[in-house]
Amino acid sequence: MKNTMIKYLFTVLLLIVGLCPNANGQAYKSLEKAKSSKELNDSTSIIYGLFIQRLGFTSGGFPQEIRLQNIVTQTVYTFNVKATMKSSKENTFCYYIKPGMYKILSYYWTQSKWYGGVMHEESIFKDIDTSTKDYQKAIKKGEVDMNKLSSYYIEIRPKSVYYLGTWHFNTGLVSFSDEKISLDEKLKKKFSDIDFENAITTLPE
């Protein structure tokens, strides 16, 4: 009973910490879950897709997030790809977002431990596994030239619904695939007011 209470308190603390500003003092802005295409306008679009998370059932009750950065305003937006107290390996996401050019900044997840959890934030780059100990050591030694690393980008235009693909984050070397037809059939039952059929397919690249 005591150990359960301790873990619960650590979980609450970690969730609070996750809402705090980043190291540069810039607060993350959370995207709002999308409900209807009727909300689309010059300043609002919709993104959706399927996310395959790193841990599966060993993730415990901790949420997981993706952080996007608008490359013009430098604003960082975050959205859940695994809800709190859920442990499904695959999770759908569907959010409103402002038009613009975005890069995938990082993947934020927490590994469940007996005392609570250990937080991880992995920068995301093409063809680079930033989750390895070798990469972390290289970063600390200044052996990684960040200017030579390539990010994944997503362009979002006004008043549109965008399918962003299946996000394979189950390994440190991430990838994206197009499985729109099967996902649309699944989401139509849950989001009857969103026009998935005419959504624009745009995989991060």
User: CA–CA separation, 125 vs 38, rounded Å?
Assistant: 34
pLDDT at residue 4 is higher than 70: no
pTM, two decimals, is: 0.85
8 A C-beta contact, residue 90 and residue 49: no
Reported as a pLDDT band with limits 50, 70 and 90, residue 3 is very low
Compute and round to an integer the Cα radius of gyration of the chain: 18
The 10s digit of each residue's pLDDT in 90-131 is 999 999 999 999 999 999 987 766 566 778 789 999 999 998
User: CA–CA separation, 152 vs 134, rounded Å?
Assistant: 22
Q: Residue by residue, what is the 3-state secondary structure of the chain?
A: CHHHHHHHHHHHHHHHHCCCCCCCCCCCEECCECCCHHHCECCEEEEEEEEECCCHHHHCCCCEEEEEEECCCCCEEEEEEECCCCCCCEEEEEEEECCEEEEEEEEEEEEEECCEEEEEEEECECCECCCCHHHHHHHHCCCCCHHHCCCCEEEECCCCEEEEEEEECCCCCCEEECCHHHHHHHHHCCCCCCCCCCCEECCCC
pLDDT at residue 85 is higher than 80: no
Q: What are phi and psi of 138, to 5 degrees?
A: -65, -40
Please, what is the average pLDDT of the chain? 85
pLDDT at residue 13 is higher than 60: no
Q: What is the mean pLDDT of residues 173-201?
A: 96
Q: Burial code of 57-83, b = ≥16 C-beta within 10 A, e = fewer?
A: eebbbbbbbbbbbbeeeebbbbbbbbe
Q: What is the mean pLDDT of residues 71-75?
A: 97
Reported as a pLDDT band with limits 50, 70 and 90, residue 178 is very high
